[in-house]
Amino acid sequence: MSPNLILRQCGLSLIEVVVSMLILAVGMISGLGMTQASQIGLDAGRRISAAAALAQAKMEEEISMPFDGLIQEPFENQDYPEGFIRTRTIQIDAPYPHFATIHVAVKWTDKTNRTHTLALATIRSKGVVP
């Protein structure tokens, strides 16, 4: 082997280093994009969990009330806990006055200004109906 051939084969050329740095930079930029998307997903999950807890708490509060006290309250009201709008609606079923439908809805706006709603509904009765 000639001495020139041995010298040319040891080490990396400048072009190889630049290409490898370019590939590494593209990979890192992709990783940053995935991190941002995962943060948005985590925030959305946190807001959905909070909305579900608020709706469930209000529904449990309404279910635990006596039926006569339930229908004497205003049929619709709103409150605003922690950036959410919680609406409770009670509807007496027309042909059957011993039944009431309770709706609880929680609305919120995410960081992209999209409005979301989580709704729960149940039916209450006034004891045993003949």
Q: What are the sequence ranges of the domains in the chain?
A: 12-125
Mean residue pLDDT across the chain: 83
User: Which residue, 41, 127, 56, is CA-closest to 86?
Assistant: 56
d(CA 82, CA 106): 11
User: Which residue, 50, 49, 65, 47, is CA-closest to 122?
Assistant: 65
Instruction: Give the max Cα distance, the chain.
Output: 108
Residue 1: band (very low, low, confident or very high) from pLDDT cuts 50, 70, 90 = low
Pairing of strands 99-109, 85-92: antiparallel
Cβ burial of 9 (10 Å; 0-12, 13-18, 19+) is exposed
d(CA 118, CA 9): 66
Residue 75: band (very low, low, confident or very high) from pLDDT cuts 50, 70, 90 = low
Of the two residues 37 and 6, the one the predictor is more confident about is: 37
Instruction: Name residue, tokens 């449990």.
Output: 60
d(CA 58, CA 38): 30
What's this model's pTM, rounded to 2 decimal places? 0.69
> Which pLDDT belongs to residue 112?
83
